[in-house]
Amino acid sequence: MAHAETLALDDHDHKPHGIGRWLFATNHKDIGTMYLVFALVMFLLGGFMALLIRLELFKPGLQFFDPAFYNSLVTSHALVMIFGGVMPAFVGLANWMVPLQIGAPDMALPRMNNYSFWILPFAFTLLLSSFFTAGGGPAGGWTLYPPLSLQAGTSFPLTIFAIHLMGASSIMGAINVIVTILNMRAPGMTLLKLPLFCWTWLITAYLLIAVMPVLAGAVTMLLTDHYFGTSFFNPAGGGDPVMFQHIFWFFGHPEVYILILPAFGVVSEIIPTFSRKPLFGYDAMVYATASIAFLSFIVWAHHMFTVGMPLAGQMFFMMSTMLIAVPTGVKVFNWTTTMWRGSISFEPPMLFALAFLFLFTIGGFSGLMLAIAPADYQYQDTYFVVAHFHYVLVPGAVFAIMGGVYYWLPKWTGHMYNQMLARCHFWLSTITVNILFFPQHFLGLAGMPRRIPDYNVQFTDWNVVSSIGGFAFGLSQLLFVVVIWQCVKGGEKATDKVWEAEPHGLEWTLPSPAPYHSFETAPEVH
């Protein structure tokens, strides 16, 4: 049986040592670890920027920052969190778990995997170094709309180059995922037996390949407009600033599904395990994920309702956007029915998955409201939008990542972590994330625009509440770091199955920690 063979291999675990192990890593576990550590550092950095933002917004009046610097905080917070936090974290989970879940010895293209990772620290050094240039960091919003983004100084080429690098990293990573899943599944693992986490990553990888080149095109056009005399977005030369928005959001909308589909995958692994019942409606879940991915290509202009789009365009995008609620709802119903008539326990991964289920759904509802174009005229560019996307990204994507880490960490390290501390982290995070973001719905509806460092006194109260929530949430994340750190250092030995709930899946047939080289012989899947 595969189990005995990998135990024997354990003895000859030739791990490389020293800095070379990491610099020249081709092992999916090491690369996965590097992605996850990088993502954690970026979360803390992006989170620190958010704390500075909430600090300034605590009271009306400008207390701490020049408005231009504030704008660069807002811009970089988003770039760091999206491209440095969420995306690398999901790639890290993919690197660790996809080969294990399909019974493969590694990713299909291990050296390209190495390049995919090491591009990122370089790219972010480039991006963040712009803060030390004369003009400061990028300050036109992560959405880079021209003409404003073209008014930036030295940060502009640094930002564009960094984005190109991050895009290349993502594309290479996506190719790796697709080739691995399509070619290296253990015998007997048909596509409709693939774990949901692998399915969502397979679909996400196709989205990445489709749209990252579009972003590259958009930012290259910005670059040539600025330095090489083109007029793609310059009306004086016959161009159109709105065309940038179309191209950007053609990337941007699938991008947000790239940020959430792997989260759906993680949650689809955790909930069945701790409900002690298979995922309800596996086929429907696969089709729903594919539908969401397809629909994500035809809704982009709902980010642009106020640009002066013809009525027919607004109608189309309103309807297509409302339609996305359907497959998303199907997934929520299927997760709930997975728990129905199950036998549920509440270990830390399950706690995060349940918080995801509730709070992502709230984000989904505000999304449905935003889809209604006439109402969106009141919501667009206000804190209502900020509340929506933070609900789907923070108690959505980020909680799913944390749930995934809490689920698989003992498999990676061989130690169970301090579950009491993890529960504290959970409760503090869940309560404070709502204090932080729920009032932002009110602020937006009451009329507070986004991306402003100061506001009229009528907005004070909810800003105070939100800032308090922000600081509490930020501080709570230090618990996450402590739990992980302690777990890496040591802890109660974890078994193969790790959890009393006895999860299904090939990764749980391996010892904990999983051997450096696993599934060198393919397991049999029935």
Q: Is 185 designated active site?
A: no
Q: Coil, helix or strand for 415?
A: strand
Q: Find the shortest distance in angstroms from Cβ 173 to another protein.
A: 31
Q: Is the dihedral of CA 11, 12, 13, 16 positive or negative?
A: positive
Under the criterion CB under 8 A, does residue 497 sit at the interface with another protein? Answer: no
Under the criterion CB under 8 A, does residue 458 sit at the interface with another protein? Answer: yes
> How many C-beta atoms surround the C-beta of residue 229 within 10 A?
9
Q: Is 169 designated active site?
A: yes
Q: Find the shortest distance in angstroms from Cβ 412 to another protein.
A: 26
Site map (CB under 8 A) of another protein, residues 280-309, x = contact: xxxxx---------------------xxx-
Residue 254: which residues within 8 A CB-CB, separation 6 or more?
A: 207, 210, 211, 293, 296, 297
**296 near 362, Cβ under 8 Å?**
no
Q: How far apart are CA 339 and CA 278, in angstroms?
A: 9
Active-site hit among 70, 96, 118, 142: 142
Q: Is 54 designated active site?
A: no
DSSP 186: P
Q: Is 303 designated active site?
A: yes
Q: Is 361 designated active site?
A: no
Stretch that binds another protein, among 175-183, 188-196, 222-230, 366-374 (CB under 8 A): 366-374
Extract the tokens encoding 428: 């503090």
Q: How far apart are CA 416 and CA 425, in angstroms?
A: 16
Q: How far apart are CA 228 and CA 109, in angstroms?
A: 37
Q: Find the shortest distance in angstroms from Cβ 480 to another protein.
A: 24
Active-site hit among 29, 303, 388, 411: 303
Q: Is 328 designated active site?
A: yes
Nearer to another protein, 160 or 357 (CB): 357
**51 near 470, Cβ under 8 Å?**
yes
Q: How many CA atoms lie within 13 A of 100 on its CB side?
A: 30
Extract the tokens encoding 221: 């056009």
Q: Is 109 left (phi over 0), alpha (psi -120 to 50) or beta?
A: beta
Stretch that binds another protein, among 88-96, 167-175, 357-365, 482-490 (CB under 8 A): 357-365
**334 near 352, Cβ under 8 Å?**
no
Under the criterion CB under 8 A, does residue 339 sit at the interface with another protein? Answer: yes
Nearer to another protein, 71 or 467 (CB): 71
Under the criterion CB under 8 A, does residue 325 sit at the interface with another protein? Answer: yes
DSSP 85: I
- Which of 128, 98, 48 has its CA nearest to residue 203? 98
Q: Find the shortest distance in angstroms from Cβ 281 to another protein.
A: 5
Under the criterion CB under 8 A, does residue 336 sit at the interface with another protein? Answer: yes
Under the criterion CB under 8 A, does residue 454 sit at the interface with another protein? Answer: yes
Q: How far apart are CA 184 and CA 189, in angstroms?
A: 10
- Which of 117, 130, 119, 146 has its CA nearest to residue 76? 130
Tokens 């589909």 belong to 261
Site map (CB under 8 A) of another protein, residues 138-177, x = contact: -xxx---x-xx--x--------------------------
> Which of 420, 456, 502, 520 lies at the binding interface for another protein (CB under 8 A)?
456
Task: For the segment 59-78, give every residue that binds another protein (CB under 8 A).
Answer: 59-68, 71
Nearer to another protein, 381 or 496 (CB): 381
Biggest CA-to-CA distance, the chain: 71
- Which of 312, 316, 321, 162 has its CA nearest to residue 256? 321
Nearer to another protein, 114 or 130 (CB): 130
Active-site hit among 106, 225, 269, 347: 106
Nearer to another protein, 104 or 330 (CB): 330
Extract the tokens encoding 473: 């949430």
> Which of 37, 179, 290, 372 lies at the binding interface for another protein (CB under 8 A)?
372
Stretch that binds another protein, among 169-177, 188-196, 259-267, 377-385 (CB under 8 A): 377-385
Active-site hit among 6, 72, 130, 268: 268
Q: Find the shortest distance in angstroms from Cβ 465 to another protein.
A: 11
Nearer to another protein, 6 or 328 (CB): 328
Q: Is 28 designated active site?
A: no
Task: For the segment 226-265, give every residue that binds another protein (CB under 8 A).
Answer: 235-236, 240-242
Q: Is 15 designated active site?
A: no
Positions marked active-site: 77, 106, 142, 169-170, 253, 255, 257, 268, 302-303, 328, 331, 450
